[in-house]
Amino acid sequence: MTTRSETQTTLDHLLTEIEHRNPAQPEFHQAAHEVLETLAPVVAARPEYAEPGLIERLVEPERQVMFRVPWQDDQGRVRVNRGFRVEFNSALGPYKGGLRFHPSVNLGVIKFLGFEQIFKNALTGLGIGGGKGGSDFDPHGRSDAEVMRFCQSFMTELYRHIGEHTDVPAGDIGVGGREIGYLFGQYRRITNRWEAGVLTGKGQGWGGSLIRPEATGYGNVLFAAAMLRERGEDLEGQTAVVSGSGNVAIYTIEKLTALGANAVTCSDSSGYVVDEKGIDLDLLKQIKEVERGRVDAYAERRGSSARFVPGGRVWEVPADLALPSATQNELDENDAATLIRNGVKAVSEGANMPTTPEAVHLLQQAGVAFGPGKAANAGGVAVSALEMAQNHARTSWTAARVEEELADIMTSIHTTCHETAERYGAPGDYVTGANIAGFERVADAMLAQGVI
């Protein structure tokens, strides 16, 4: 029987190997570290997981596709972007995960997201593997026609690699209902198939699921509420800071407000807005979803309760709860120290890996409840899997039914993470609980299916 420290040494060697084999991919290294650092207790306790090659296979994507995406802008000039799809693990089901269109996208970013997605999807308890894709295309400031031409060119290559039983993309940063529409249209045109289950996040009239747009934000708030309940508290009357102003942030604010909390901030890359009366969602939705504008317009139009802080970070606003819902590494150790000083009780990640490892450590040491993204933001992909189920059955469920299923899934993810952390000697540590529980499910399937 190997000890935990011997196991940890083996995992540390593997991490060094991962860094060598995947140079210049710091986000992927970070995501791999974060998982492998917590697996020693389970690998030491269950010898089958120490089988040579199991974890080595888990950290190597099954397939990685990179391709040229040429398109013409409105002036007729040819632009060239890079497209990616990383099909990481299909032991539990077809690859599943979003597409991100953002200038920061590169292979390492997509690999970190795909790796996270494996464990997140496993935690939902549904039959979905892990994958992620995207492009360094920046939709900001582009006309609808340009976005359409880009999406059509992107799909002209991607269609070969996806399918309802193979790989099912969805949205992520920069990819919402508009982009999914253009991508679906081009897939249908090329393949001559009405294959609703090939993409999720579709429009409601053509195969989309009710509550899919809301699901990530709603789910994160339900997860935060479950963490608070463990401590004998609820959301009523709590002040919350939320970063971001995209789909995740908007529906996080909506659910917080519905459950009696006061969500006082939102942000984008230009700075943040603080509104002591609570964010007015109709105004925010109008600015972000209809006008595709910036958050400073919110402060201008809202009146005296709100102000715009250029270049600042929402974490400096005192709050009981923090829900980072923008992007990776947006909350560092200085931000964590500020939150702790201001008495934060819980941090729950709506975005993927928004909290740096140093910040996570600091928060956990200070006794703050910390919900890692792969558990806390799994509601989005979970409802995507429910969208696939509806598509397969050629039916659509009521909003109430989808919301009920979402709530059950979030409760069960919370319970699983909580109990797993306890079982492996780390009570209250949701990072360890989420990593081990997700790992167990995928690893068992991989072992059963042989060396592939």
Alpha carbon distances (Å) from 194 to 158, 183, 206, 221: 17, 13, 10, 35
Between 182 and 424, name the residue whose CB sits nearer to ligand GLU: 182
**Tokens in use for 145?**
């026609």
Instruction: Tell me: does residue 381 bind ligand GLU (CB under 6 A).
Output: yes
Q: Which is nearer to ligand GLU, 112 or 315 (CB)?
A: 112
Structure tokens at 418: 């909580």
State which residue, 25 or 124, has the beta carbon closest to ligand GLU. 124
- Gap between the Cα atoms of 161 and 363, Å rounded: 41
Return the number of the residue (128 or 306) whose C-beta is nearest ligand GLU: 128
Q: Which is nearer to ligand GLU, 167 or 280 (CB)?
A: 167
Laid out side by side, the sheet with 306-310 consists of 265-268, 271-275, 306-310
Instruction: Confirm or reject binding of residue 97 to ligand GLU (CB under 6 A).
Output: yes
We find the least distance from the C-beta atom of residue 145 to ligand GLU, in angstroms, to be 25
Instruction: Determine contact, residues 317/295, Cβ cutoff 8 Å.
Output: no
Query: Is residue 120 annotated as a catalytic residue, yes or no?
Result: no
**325 versus 384: smaller Cβ distance to ligand GLU:** 384
Identify which of residues 133 and 278 has a Cβ nearer to ligand GLU in the complex.
133
Find the binder of ligand GLU among 252, 352, 355, 420 (CB under 6 A): 352
Closest residue to ligand GLU, based on beta-carbon distance: 98
Check: CB of residue 418 under 8 Å from CB of residue 430.
Answer: yes
* Cβ count within 10 A of residue 451: 10
- Angle (CA) 193-196-202 rounded to 5° is 130
Task: Say if strands 167-170 and 239-242 run parallel, antiparallel, or are unpaired.
Answer: unpaired
Scanning 5-13, 329-337, 376-384, 394-402 for contacts with ligand GLU by CB under 6 A, the matching segment is 376-384
Task: Please name the residue ranges forming H helices in 37-89.
Answer: 40-45, 54-58
- To ligand GLU, the closest distance from the beta carbon of 172 in angstroms equals 4
170 binds ligand GLU (CB under 6 A): yes
Stretch that binds ligand GLU, among 46-54, 92-100, 321-329, 432-440 (CB under 6 A): 92-100
- The answer to whether 172 contacts ligand GLU (rule: CB under 6 A) is yes
- CB under 6 A: which stretch of 180-188, 281-289, 315-323, 378-386 binds ligand GLU? 378-386
Tell me, by CB under 6 A, how many residues bind ligand GLU: 10
208 versus 278: smaller Cβ distance to ligand GLU: 208
**Of 80-88, 152-160, 377-385, 412-420, which part binds ligand GLU (CB under 6 A)?**
377-385
Phi, psi angles (nearest 5°) of residue 442? -70, -45
74: left (phi over 0), alpha (psi -120 to 50) or beta: alpha
Shortest distance, position 200 Cβ to ligand GLU, whole Å: 5
d(CA 26, CA 22): 9
Residues 98-127 that bind ligand GLU (CB under 6 A): 98
Return the closest-CA partner of residue 86 out of 106, 103, 70: 106
What is d(CA 441, CA 447) in angstroms, rounded to the nearest whole number?
Answer: 10
- Of 96 and 441, the one with the shorter C-beta distance to ligand GLU is 96
Residue 164 beta carbon to ligand GLU: minimum distance, rounded to whole angstroms: 13
Spatial distance between the Cα atoms of 40 and 332, rounded to a whole number of angstroms: 26
Q: Which residues of 132-167 are buried (b: 16+ CB within 10 A; e: fewer)?
A: bbbbbbebeebeeebbbbbbbbbbbebbebbbbeeb
- State the nearest-atom distance from the C-beta of 323 to ligand GLU, in Å: 15
The reply to whether 391 sits near ligand GLU by the rule CB under 6 A is no
Pick one of 38, 364, 384, 416: the residue that binds ligand GLU (CB under 6 A).
Answer: 384
Minimum CB separation from ligand GLU for residue 99, in Å?
A: 8
> Among 132, 202, 288, 374, which one carries the catalytic annotation?
132
Cα 119 to the center of its chain, rounded Å: 11
Q: How far apart are CA 170 and CA 198, in angstroms?
A: 9
Helix 4-21 vs helix 26-36: angle between axes, to the nearest 10 degrees?
A: 170
Which range binds ligand GLU by CB under 6 A, 45-53, 90-98, 238-246, 316-324? 90-98
- Of 43, 69, 90, 96, the one binding ligand GLU (CB under 6 A) is 96
Determine if 238 is a binding residue for ligand GLU (CB under 6 A): no
Q: Are 372 and 352 contacting, i.e. CB atoms less than 8 angstroms apart?
A: no
Distance in Å, CB of 24 to ligand GLU, minimum: 23
How far is Cα 335 from Cα 219, in angstroms, rounded to an integer?
A: 24
Query: Does 209 engage in binding with ligand GLU (CB under 6 A)?
Result: no
Q: What beta strand segments (E) does 171-242 contain? A: 239-242
Which region among 91-99, 252-260, 309-317, 430-438 touches ligand GLU (by CB under 6 A)?
A: 91-99
Using DSSP bridges, classify how beta strands 271-275 and 306-310 pair: parallel, antiparallel or unpaired.
Answer: antiparallel
Residues that bind ligand GLU (CB under 6 A): 96-98, 170, 172, 200, 352, 380-381, 384
Residues assigned a catalytic role = 132
